Chain A
Amino acid sequence: MKKLIACVLTLVLAVSAVGAMAEGLTFSWWGGDARHEATQAAVAAFTEATGVTVENTYSAWSGWEDKMSQYFASDSAFDVNQVNWNWLFSFVDGEGKSKMYDLNQVADIIDLTQFADAALAQCTVNGELLAIPVSMTGRIFYWNETTWQKAGLETPKTLAELMAAGQIFAEKLGDEYYPLALGTYDKMILMVHYLECKYGTDWVTDNKLNYTVEQIAEGVQFIQDLEDAHVIPSAETLIGDGADSLDKNPKWMDGVYAGIWEWDSSASKFGAALSDGQNFVVGEYFTDIGEFQGGFTKVSLALCIANSAADKQTAAQLIEFLLNSDEGARLMNSQRGIPLSAKANALCQTEGLLDPMVAEANGKVIAWCKNGLDPQFEAAALKNSDGVYADAFDGLSYGDYDVEEAAEVLVEGINEVLGA
């Protein structure tokens, strides 16, 4: 009996030792359920093709940035990571060295020729290619057509139509119905879009805010007008809904809020969240705001290898498989937006794998938006729930600030982040 126990224990130890020696990769991303499923399938296919095991860690966006910043700061990040564009500029140590590996070093494994130079340039910092951009994205309107029809309206093609819709919604459907719902960060992006349509200038260039307090006050007034005209719910109403994000808000799911201003790469989760019988459609950019095609596009997200990764060659193989291989492209399709990889894009187009709505929205975004984005736009001190944007727009909505004061809060906070 003792011999048997000793044999079993030896076997267990041996198996554990072999298991520990056969190190695989770790991979992290954020997203919705559809993205999780697609990515898990693609990773399983990679394991089948190469024999390399991959441990996945994934979640929704909420709280993800805090967690990842801790991993990167402590050099314990996952081997391969889905990263937000601004992380490339902020995850840098005291000597200016990035926490992400220079992917030029594995250019023999990742086929960089599949990506446009301009796209790769956006992920290149100090001559190092820190991540591979997966797709480009921008903000565009999406509407719940069913609710608009209930209100006896067509989805809006102009700002004037949108402004007029607020009162019609209130009268025909009830005070709790709104044509559009905007979170704090949505308000900021829509305001910048509005100002860029009016003035044509990029929001920030070379660490300099290009708009005066008076011009920004015009933008803030525009947001206030939307609230006053019953186009968007107040901050108080949205907070009272008690939802983490709009796609988890029952009022969005049930069509009480009938529009969003969202990234084209992540809008599909809003469509999926709607209850049965509601039609989710891509909107149009308004031509009556100004003479320019304002708004910006940016790298929606990218894949990087952490500097702390033990086996960077195998990590590069995983990125190559996910972004450039036929099988990876088929399984990932447009779950992270329209693929920037020429090969993946061509295959998805040929085989009809792209979500038609994502493709339509991305086509409109790329055709319309002419402005660039400064990476500091998404700096934590500005974008966070207790950041400058929230202070200005929630303060405005709660009546703590008037339009001029909110504009000053924005200018002061942004200049502080820009170091101006």
Chain B
Amino acid sequence: MTNGSSAVRSDLRKKRRFSKLEQGYMGFILILPWLIGFCIFKLYPFISSLIYSFTDYDLFKGAQNFVGFENYIDAFTKSKNVKALQVTFAYAFMTVPLKLIFALFIAYILNFKIKGVGLFRTAYYVPSILGGSVAIAVLWRALFKSDGVINTILAMLGFDSINFLADRSWALFIICLLRVWQFGSAMVLFLAALKGVPEDLYEAASIDGASKSRQFLSITIPIISPVIFYNLVTQLVQAFQEFNGPYIITNGGPRNATTLISLIVYNSAFKDYKVGLSSAMAWVMFVITTIFTIIAFASQKKWVYYSDDDGRG
């Protein structure tokens, strides 16, 4: 009996010990594969690129000299790099608002009870799945070339054709348009948020005589503002990292009109072999993205409303 109860106690102690181990290390063990991947494929390149950005690292010759801030000075003084910075800002500031407005507009329409709405939702979401692919970028170029489908339609309607790919302003616009066209994922999030807006608020507002536009501005927008904020941040980050569209559709042309920073990063490293400069440009892009993200987070106190007790995030 005594032996039996001591064995049970010993078992319990073991289980308790294992349970403590489980509590202390099991979580860590479970995330270990991810952690290893993160350290090798994210953290190491991240830190290396920072170090390389202060050297004259050449793709073939490696880093031979420490050059201080020379690459960063080049990033802000060489005309090609300065132009790329300007184009990237123009791209981001054109793409993000257009995409958010368009996604919200379509989500608003699809929130109505209309026949075949499921089909429309699917149709509008599909470009998001296809959008980043090389094939779509090639298709986009075919659509907008001088004798492409868009110009054929313009000619049929009696308009002059537009050289979309070769005109500096139009070229940037069609690159933006490709990104705006991929509004599906933002739209789905807006749609989910719109469905969460309580109907009784609209009813109360209607009784008080508020118009539809007033209801939209004073009820819908504040309530879905957390989702607007989320979409704003993610779209901003994506816009600053855009590569496929300008690389495949215009290759940065004409006359660098669509050369974004990401293209400079690629071209410097793999065409000119200047990995040091490329790393510096990547860090410039990272810092810019971080600054805008911080600004967005700081500004949310003024316009984003959460349903917490204090009503603010």
Contacts and interface: CB of A to CB of B under 8 A. Distances in A.
Nearest to B79: A391
A73 interface: yes
Interface string A230-266: 0000011111111100000010000000000000000
Contact of B271 (A73, A91, A243, A384): A384
Given A237-B166, A395-B255, A93 B60 contact: yes
A241 to B, nearest CB: 6
A386 B254 contact: no
A240 B251 CA distance: 13
A240 B273 CA distance: 29
Tell me whether chain A's interface is mostly helix, strand or loop, or mixed: helix
A94 to B, nearest CB: 4
A240 B165 contact: yes
A394 B254 contact: yes
Interface residues of A, number: 31
Contacts of B61: 92-94
A386 B80 contact: yes
B11 interface: no
A69 B61 CA distance: 12
Given A94-B62, A99-B60, A242-B142, A69 B270 contact: yes
Q: Taking each of A91, A94, A400, which has the highest tally of chain B beta carbons within 10 Å of its own beta carbon?
A: A94
Nearest to B60: A73
Interface stretch (B24-32, B145-153, B237-245, B283-291): B145-153
Contacts, number: 84
Interface range on chain B: under 10, 10 to 19, 20 to 34, or 35 or more?
20 to 34
Interface in B250-283: 250-256, 259, 267, 270-273
Given A240-B166, A241-B146, A386-B267, A400 B60 contact: no
A213 interface: no
- In the A-B complex, the 10 residue pairs with the closest CB atoms: A242-B145, A94-B61, A240-B146, A240-B166, A239-B166, A240-B163, A236-B166, A66-B270, A73-B59, A242-B141
Interface in A354-409: 380-381, 384-386, 394-395, 398, 400
Given A93-B61, A94-B58, A380-B272, A386 B146 contact: no
A242 B165 CA distance: 7
B147 A70 contact: no
B93 to A, nearest CB: 23
Contacts of B270: 66, 69-70
A292 interface: no
B254 A92 contact: no
Contact of A384 (B146, B148, B250, B267): B267
Interface string B43-71: 00000000000000011111010000000
A241 B163 CA distance: 9
